[in-house]
Structure 1
Amino acid sequence: MDENTDYATTLLIVSWALGAIVILVCTLRVYGRVVIINQAGWDDGFMVFGALSAIVCSALVTAGVSHGLGRHREQITDPVDLQESIKYTIIAPLFSIISSTCSKISILIFLVRLMGMTAKHWHLIFLWGLCVLLVLLNIFAIVVIIRFCDPPAKQWNPDLEGTCIDPRIQLYGGAVQASYNALMDIIVAIFPTMFITKLNITRKMKVGLSFLMGGGVFAAAATITKVYLIKDLDKHSDITWFWAPITLWYTAEVGIDQ
């Protein structure tokens, strides 16, 4: 990691540049689905909840940066700032996981509705099977983050009585969860090509849908980068520095996912 990297500024720019796009896209989608065509569905509900979680994630990252996220632990001289920066560094990814999960569920629901009568039985089993495994792995990741220490607050206040699990559990669990999320993004981007050509819509709409669904490749790229950086997930001794690039890429991931 480059010691001269200004993670604090980069985190703020990425969080709120993508956050503004998330707010705009979500608002336009809700307006179109609810007001214009009056056909809101469960996919819209999951997308809205995912967008709200992404904004909460950006807010928590911002709070973390204000206390020291993006700097080395020894550079944070105020003990209160140190505790707060570690707390927000740990809590923020919980909302990124929730956001990413809701966005993918929304896309899967949209896919099933889009396929309509063209969907075969194995299509549905495949898609909902992916969805169930996605939810289970992401719940596991959230539990590992929250319950890394007992009580959870011991993660940012080492003076508390309690115990913590082996950091390697968090490392391996995070790698598996992030890898599966990247795989999901790729599948969601490629799978629609199997049936879009069979839909009774104009060529222009087919091209637009293919482009829209193919956007998952960019989210997958952000997630794959995060998978590589997760090698530093177990470095809790300098968590505010080593988790900064991970924070940067999961923030980018949830912004692109929306």
Structure 2
Amino acid sequence: MSLSPRDAIFDCGPRLLRDIWTLTGIAIVIVILRVVAKIRIRKIGWDDILMVSSLCLTIVGSALLTVGVRHGFCRHVWDLDTKLVVPKVIMFDYLTQTFGIAGGTLGRVSFIVFVIGLLGTRKSHRVILWIIVGLQILTNLILIIILFVQCPGHASAIWTQSGEHKCWDVRIQAYYGYYQGSFNSATDLYLAVFSTYIFWSLNLKLTVKLGLVTLLGLGIFAMAASVIKVVQTQVLAHAADDPTVATVNYNRWLYIEAYLVIITASIPCIRSILRSVRGQTAGTGRSTYELSSPYCGNSMPTSRSRRLTAIPGKSMIRISDNSSADDISEWNNEIDGVHERTDSKQSIYVHV
């Protein structure tokens, strides 16, 4: 039986939407669990607010992508009404990219803020992490600006493609996209290595170290998606050939990257719920953990710590309860050390 012309039209929209909305559902569940876990231990902070904002932006982007697909995105431009439909599809494509970039950026910033509170015991570490926050915002914001100023004074010319107005060379967006994607990948790699570097030096059992490093190193999956997206960036320099299909895989990996950032950055925060499911007592939000490390110094805020009796040749690092340590560091039965209990708090001291 022969196919009708309508049936023969290429349309990869259903598959794209299936991939995107599957990740959307997973991200929503994980972030809800994150918020519930933080409420249980009374540790809602800026990292959680930023993560919820990141999720909202990516959901809006997913909705815009859905609208774009219904208007003809994922179909070849020659199968659409060039004058009426194509400009609208390209507009939704640009808006979709904007929200995807913004969502991924806020997700990374949220995780960095979380890491600063948890592991930023040295001033040099905190300075580096805050610099990365600034560069993340600046790098991704510039790409968003480039998206909409390519045709100076005539933003609509970007999607109408009438040729009546002078626009930048499309390679500018592509080349900057290579830098932006590479920087995001490098950020994910640095955060994974940084967490491993800090926790591997602690005087903990190997299984505990592996657990902590794994939880904080899940961002390596977001890095892999970011690398694939960087490879797809090449289409931005040739999108005009078939603008309603050319960026399909680019958008797919842009949103896979953004959602993996949200998911992997939130999983470490839901450990208290997982412990409750296993029948263990969830954190009360009043615990502090002091773990040995060669990286601690005098940079610790005096308002969050108290002087301990010095032991020659020993140094200590404190993971403060203000940094959501209950979520990922409550390994009481596995940590070697001396336990001190009071009516209001529990402290663990491990010397090296």
TM-score by length of 1: 0.90
Alpha-carbon distance between aligned partners in 1 of 2:42 and 2:220, rounded to the nearest angstrom: 30
- 2:220 and 2:10 map into 1 onto residues whose CA distance is 27
Structure 2 residue 19 is the aligned partner of structure 1 residue 17: no
Q: Counterpart of 1:135? A: 137
- CA shift for structure 1 position 50: 0.6
Partner of residue 36, structure 2 = 31
Kindly report which structure 2 residues correspond to 1:194-213, keeping only aligned pairs within 5 A, or say none.
194-197=197-200, 206-213=209-216
**Aligned-residue RMSD, C-alpha:** 2.1
Alignment correspondent of 1:232: 235
Contact 1:181/1:223 (8 A) holds in 2: yes
Higher relative contact order, chain-length normalized (CA < 8 Å, sep 6+):
1
Q: Which residue does the alignment assign to 1:42?
A: 46
Q: Distance in 1 between matches of 2:12 and 2:206?
A: 44
Unmatched 5+ stretches in structure 1: none
Identity, in percent, stands at 32
Q: Residue deviations 1:166-214, cap 9 Å, x none?
A: 1111111111001100111111122101212456888766443322222
Give the direction of change, closer, same or farther, for the CA distance of 1:75–1:37 in structure 2 (3 Å limit).
same
Q: Are 1:91 and 2:95 counterparts?
A: yes
Amino acid at match of 1:40: I
Please report how far the alpha carbon of residue 6 of structure 1 lies from its aligned counterpart in structure 2 after TM superposition: 5.2
**1:153-192 pair list within 5 angstroms:** 153-159=156-162, 162-192=165-195
Judge conservation of contact 2:136–2:184 (CA < 8 Å) in 1.
yes
User: What code does the residue aligned with 1:187 have?
Assistant: Y
1:7 aligns with 2:9: no
1:214 and 2:217 are equivalent in the alignment? yes
8 Å Cα contact 1:11-1:61 kept in structure 2: no
Aligned counterparts of 1:192 and 1:5: Cα–Cα separation in 2: 45
Checking the alignment, whether the CA contact within 8 Å between 1:134 and 1:181 is kept in structure 2 is yes
Q: What amino acid sits opposite 1:143 in the alignment?
A: I
> Which protein is richer in helix relative to its size?
1
| Larger radius of gyration between Structure 1 and Structure 2 | 2
Conservation of the 8 A alpha-carbon contact between 1:68 and 1:240: yes
Give the direction of change, closer, same or farther, for the CA distance of 1:131–1:172 in structure 2 (3 Å limit). same
1:252 is the counterpart of 2:252: no
Task: Return the alpha-carbon distance in structure 2 between the equivalents of residues 5 and 81 of structure 1.
Answer: 16
1:92 counterpart SS class:
helix
CA distance in structure 2 between the aligned counterparts of 1:63 and 1:157, rounded to whole angstroms: 18
TM-score, normalising length: structure 2: 0.67
Alignment correspondent of 2:127: 125
Unaligned ranges ≥5, structure 2: 1-8, 263-352
- The CA distance in 1 between the partners of 2:34 and 2:17, in whole Å, is 25
Stretch moving more, 154-163 or 121-130: 154-163
Q: Deviations over 1:198-235 (max 9, x none)?
A: 56888766443322222111111111111111111122
CA distance, structure 2, for counterparts of residue 68 and residue 240 of structure 1: 7
1:80 to 71, 81, 84: 84
Counterpart residue identity of residue 156, structure 1? W
| Cα pair distance change 1:231/1:112, threshold 3 Å | same
CA shift digits 1:46-100 (9 cap, x unpaired): 1111111111111111111111111221111363322221111111011111111
For 1:59, the equivalent position in structure 2 comes to 63
Counting matched residue pairs gives 252
C-alpha offsets along residues 221-257 of structure 1, whole Å, 9 cap, x if unaligned? 1111111111111223222111111011101111111
**For the structure 1 residues 231 and 78, does the alpha-carbon distance in structure 2 shift closer, same or farther, using more than 3 Å as the test?**
closer
